[in-house]
């Protein structure tokens, strides 16, 4: 199994995530060990993107990249006392997208 520093993996995942159409910015944090890896992402998507597709593509790409790099998949779900892992990415993206649309609607009035 390869050994990759968490900050190197975080940077690589962030850069790959920003290649997904509709993703404007993505910061990824990686913690844990190769056998118990946690991945969390903070992502901004464009207002006109298909949010559900972008979320699915980000999750697939991150999981594939981690699995390829380390030979193990990141954990899915929540660890006690910590923000969520990949499963919360969809909700956070959808919330940000709705907030941006509401803000844009208010500004147009």
Q: What is the 3-state secondary structure (H, E, C) of 71-91?
A: CCCCCCCCCCCCCCCCHHHHH
User: What's residue 80's pLDDT?
Assistant: 40
User: What's residue 11's pLDDT?
Assistant: 93
pLDDT in tens, the chain (109 residues): 456 788 888 999 999 999 999 898 999 888 877 667 778 888 888 888 888 888 889 888 988 888 888 777 766 554 444 444 444 555 566 666 667 767 777 888 7
């Amino acid at each position: 199994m390869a050994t990759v520093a968490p900050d190197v993996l975080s940077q690589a995942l962030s850069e790959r995530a920003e290649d997904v159409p509709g993703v404007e910015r993505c910061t990824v944090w990686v913690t844990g060990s190769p056998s118990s890896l946690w991945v969390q992402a903070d992502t901004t998507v464009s207002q006109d993107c298909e949010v559900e597709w972008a979320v699915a593509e980000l999750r697939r790409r991150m999981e594939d990249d981690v699995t390829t790099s380390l030979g193990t998949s990141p954990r899915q779900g929540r660890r006690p006392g910590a923000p969520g892992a990949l499963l919360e990415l969809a909700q956070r993206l959808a919330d940000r997208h709705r907030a941006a649309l509401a803000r844009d609607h208010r500004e147009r009035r």
